[in-house]
Amino acid sequence: MARPQFLAASVGICLTLSTAVAEETISDLRDVTIGMSAQDLPASGYRNLACVGETNQALEYWGAWKACPAGPDGLRRVHVDYDQPGQDTTMVAGHPVDVTISFDDSGRLVRIEIKTQDQASLYMRKKAHLLARQAMEHYGHDGWSCRDTPPSANEEAIGATYVNETCSKASGRRSIDVSSRFFHKSGGGSRDFVSDSVVVVNFRP
């Protein structure tokens, strides 16, 4: 039986459909899988490549990753958008997101970070916490270790729902960490709430 798609076909960046096959065959982004070399990344389908750092230097192609400064962990981070005509915002599973990929010194793609955008519309922000669950479905329901954080003094449920969860899983050459938050800030207005997701995929040598 085929697994559910992480992204609908109409959205921008997508974690593609996987049938009941080995974890290693699952894609992390369209035509991109963790562990790939920069020289093997697709020549089209992505745009707005730029170093993540003080200068945000624009890059013309993947092979220019060395122009980006190394962070404290030694990795060079590049922000990317999906290149889809008529779509200005990078979308994952219907959520506006920011995508950052990181290279090690050999030019291997060793980390992918997907974070829902804080500046999205009120409607999209309310749904942002759901992206983490969709990512877990994409990588398979089994093997996750999750931890719930109880509300702090200035946090309260929205209706009956409070979410502050982090989950992790290691499978094959991947480790995946997802986090989701959904709660209201005590004493704040109706728009003063937190709803977000972060998905991080790391390469395991």
Question: Is pLDDT of 23 > 60?
Answer: no
Q: Kindly give the residue spans of alpha helices, DSSP state H, lying in 15-166.
A: 122-127, 130-138
Q: How many secondary structure helices (H) and strands (E) does the chain include?
A: 2, 10
Q: Which residue has the higher pLDDT, 20 or 59?
A: 59
Question: Is pLDDT of 34 > 50?
Answer: yes
- Per-residue confidence band for 189, with pLDDT thresholds at 50, 70 and 90: confident
**pLDDT more than 70, % of the chain:** 88
- Per-residue confidence band for 36, with pLDDT thresholds at 50, 70 and 90: very high
Q: What is the pLDDT of residue 156?
A: 95
Cα Dmax for the chain: 52
Which residue carries 């200068």 as its tokens?
55
Q: Which residue has the higher pLDDT, 19 or 138?
A: 138
Cα separation, 10 vs 17, in Å, equals 13
Q: What is the pLDDT of residue 111?
A: 98
Q: Which amino acid is it at 89? A: T
Cα separation, 21 vs 75, in Å, equals 31
Q: What is the pLDDT of residue 195?
A: 96
**Mean of pLDDT over the chain:** 87
Q: What is the pLDDT of residue 17?
A: 34
Q: What is the pLDDT of residue 24?
A: 55
Q: What is the pLDDT of residue 3?
A: 38
Q: What are the pLDDT digits (tens) for 70-127?
A: 999 999 999 999 998 778 889 988 999 999 999 999 999 999 999 999 888 888 999 9
Cα separation, 109 vs 102, in Å, equals 6
Residue of 178, 182, 168, 204 lying closest to 15 (CA atoms):
178
Residue of 202, 138, 135 lying closest to 172 (CA atoms):
202
User: In this structure, what DSSP letter does residue 73 have?
Assistant: T
Cα separation, 104 vs 66, in Å, equals 10
Taking the model in full, what pTM does it have?
0.86
Question: Is pLDDT of 28 > 50?
Answer: yes
Identify the weakest region by mean pLDDT among 66-75, 85-94, 125-134, 176-185.
85-94
74 phi-psi bin (left φ>0, alpha ψ -120 to 50, beta other): left
E-state strands within 3-160: 46-51, 76-82, 91-92, 95-103, 109-116, 145-148, 155-156
Average pLDDT over residues 157-179: 96
Average pLDDT over residues 179-202: 93
